[in-house]
Amino acid sequence: MILSASDCERIEKFWAYCQKHQYFNIGYPESADFDYSALYRFFNFSINNCGDWQEPSNYALNSFDFEKDVMRYFAEYFRIAFDDSWGYVTNGGTEGNMFACYLARELFAQGTLYYSKATHYSVIKIAKLLQMKSCVVDCLENGEIDVADLLRKIQNNHEKNPIIFANIGTTMSGAIDNITQIQTGIAQLGITRDQYYIHADAALSGMILPFVDQPQAFSFADGIDSICVSGHKMIGSPIPCGIVLAKRENVERISVNVDYISARDQTISGSRNGHTVLLMWAAIRSQTFLQKKQRVQHCLKMAQYAVERFQANGINAWRNPNSITVVFPCPSEAVWKKHYLATSENMAHLITTAHHKDTQKIDLLIDDVIEDLRGKTQRTA
Ligand SMILES: *Cc1c(COP(=O)(O)O)cnc(C)c1O
């Protein structure tokens, strides 16, 4: 590749910028502790996983064999027999959510999509694109769906086929909707298991819960119909990606024949990224279960540390069980801008992702928040 001198300079500047900000991330869930350099040489190839990896393809440069391994791994972690599952590597959590809602709508054309106020904003786009009726449900204070409100709304709507969009870790507070309570409640309304659908949006926490001692209900064994996870969050990836996994029997109802690639294609996009499949495969294969567990446990410990440090300084910080998201009162704009924090209403959060090997960056942020909030209470006093 030949670039002009000024373009070279521009790229060099961007390189320096990226290096400087490599580990900037404390307000967002993207882990940056990865090293995929062994795979760089594959960027010489136009790999394309167009279509379903389970069908033969005439496009020779695909990484379907690796995608099979990746999906087998997630099926095991999310407790569904591999042969009973169907899924693929997506462009991220949103595509996984979209696929799941599409699947649910095909199964229940008249079904309403129920989701809590704390749900990721992608659900609104998805409901619009798929022209689904939707219904917003209240949350409890910790960000979990208010199951009583959900059941009330299902009943008031005379809903026959509710489609539940459950959060397995909300974006703002890492709250996990109570799948067991939801299922028991729906059964009590006289709606049988084959009349409703539950999707689990596990963008971040889907790769935390398999590694904790007491996970909340979240898997196929707990009764979900589909799940999605982002690859660039807990696992970490230089390119956004994710996985979606559903029940094979449901997916088989929505397949479409596409002649020119000689493949049956149930995926949302056409061409699909074959490189991120290799990244996910390498991430899975390069660490033992114990190493992955230690990494997750480290993040959880750091989150607990942050909560305790805030509280020791009189700041009302908290986190949900098994969550690496620490919620605290929103500081002044200068502080959240300086630390690139995501804020919502009067809340801010920090996320103790795996590239925080020690508490250095976390402490800098906490110091700033303590000073800022102390100033605020003095001003209002
Ligand atoms: C990040 C996130 C998403 C969207 O995932 P992308 O990979 O960014 O598309 C969906 N749901 C939740 C709860 C998230 O935190």
Domain range list for the chain: 5-30+288-380, 53-285
Residue located nearest, by CA, to atom 15 of ligand 1: 171
Contact 333, 348 (CB under 8 A): no
pTM above 0.85, yes or no: yes
CA of 122 to the centre of ligand 1 (A): 7
Hey, is 167 helix, strand or coil? strand
Per-residue model confidence (pLDDT) at position 170: 98
Residue located nearest, by CA, to atom 6 of ligand 1: 93
> β-strands 197-201, 134-137: how paired?
unpaired
Q: What are the residue numbers of the active site?
A: 323
Choose which residue among 30, 116, 171, 218 to substitute to test ligand 1 binding: the one with the highest number of ligand atoms within 8 A of its C-beta. 171
User: Amino acid identity of 342?
Assistant: A
Residue located nearest, by CA, to atom 1 of ligand 1: 203
CA of 379 to the centre of ligand 1 (A): 37
CA of 205 to the centre of ligand 1 (A): 10
Q: How many residues does the chain have?
A: 381
- Enclosing H/E stretch for 138: none
Per-residue model confidence (pLDDT) at position 381: 45
Residues in CB range of 126: below 8 A, 6 or more apart? 94, 97, 98, 101, 132
Per-residue model confidence (pLDDT) at position 342: 87
* CB neighbour class for 168 (10 Å; exposed up to 12, middle 13-18, buried from 19): buried
CA of 120 to the centre of ligand 1 (A): 6
Residue located nearest, by CA, to atom 5 of ligand 1: 93
Per-residue model confidence (pLDDT) at position 255: 63
Pocket flag, ligand 1, residue 91 (CB < 6 Å): no
Tokens of 171: 């974006």
User: Which of 222, 214, 226, 247 is closest to 165 using CA atoms?
Assistant: 226
Contact 242, 93 (CB under 8 A): yes
Pocket flag, ligand 1, residue 120 (CB < 6 Å): yes
Per-residue model confidence (pLDDT) at position 374: 83
Residues in CB range of 264: below 8 A, 6 or more apart? 51, 52, 55, 255, 256, 257, 258
Pocket flag, ligand 1, residue 122 (CB < 6 Å): yes
pLDDT < 50 stretches in the chain: 258, 261-263, 381
For 53-285, give the CATH class. alpha beta
Pocket flag, ligand 1, residue 93 (CB < 6 Å): yes
In tens, the pLDDT along 262-319 reads 446 788 888 999 999 999 999 999 999 999 999 999 999 999 999 999 999 999 999 9
Contact 88, 57 (CB under 8 A): no
Per-residue model confidence (pLDDT) at position 1: 82
Per-residue model confidence (pLDDT) at position 42: 98
User: Which of 34, 35, 49 is closest to 90 using CA atoms?
Assistant: 49
Pocket flag, ligand 1, residue 235 (CB < 6 Å): no
Pocket flag, ligand 1, residue 94 (CB < 6 Å): yes
Residue located nearest, by CA, to atom 2 of ligand 1: 203
Pocket flag, ligand 1, residue 204 (CB < 6 Å): yes
- Fold classification of 5-30+288-380 (topology level): Aspartate Aminotransferase, domain 1 (3.90.1150)
